[in-house]
Amino acid sequence: SNNARSNKTAFDDVGSDYFGTQKVSINVARALKAIGYEEPTRIQADCIGPLLAGNDVVGQAHTGTGKTAAFGIPLVERSDPSQIFIQGLILVPTRELAMQVRDELVRLAQFRRLGVVACYGGQPISKQIAALKRQTHIVVGTPGRVLDHLGKGTLLLGSVRTVVLDEADEMLDIGFLPDIERILSRTPKTRQTALFSATIPSPIRRIVTRHMR
Report the C-alpha gap between 105 and 110 in whole angstroms: 8
The predicted structure's pLDDT at residue 14:
66
Q: Write out the H or E segment, with its range, that includes residue 48.
A: helix 42-52
- The pLDDT of 76-92, averaged and rounded, is 97
Least confident of 13-27, 59-73, 94-108, 162-176: 13-27
Which stretch of 1-10, 61-70, 81-90, 124-133 has the lowest confidence by average pLDDT?
A: 1-10
The CA-based dihedral angle spanning residues 3, 164, 205, 177, taken in that order and rounded to the nearest 10 degrees: -110
pLDDT value of position 68: 97
What is the predicted pLDDT for the residue at 40? 97
* β-bridge mates for residue 22, sequence order: 19
Lowest-pLDDT range, 12-16, 68-72, 133-137, 145-149? Answer: 12-16
Between 67 and 64, whose confidence is greater?
67
* Predicted local distance difference test score (pLDDT) of residue 64: 87
- Digit-coded pLDDT (tens) for 116-172: 999 999 999 999 999 999 999 999 999 999 999 999 999 999 999 999 999 999 999
Torsion of CA 159, 28, 91, 147, to 10 degrees: -40
- The predicted pLDDT at position 4 comes to 46
CA–CA separation, 102 vs 98, rounded Å? Answer: 6
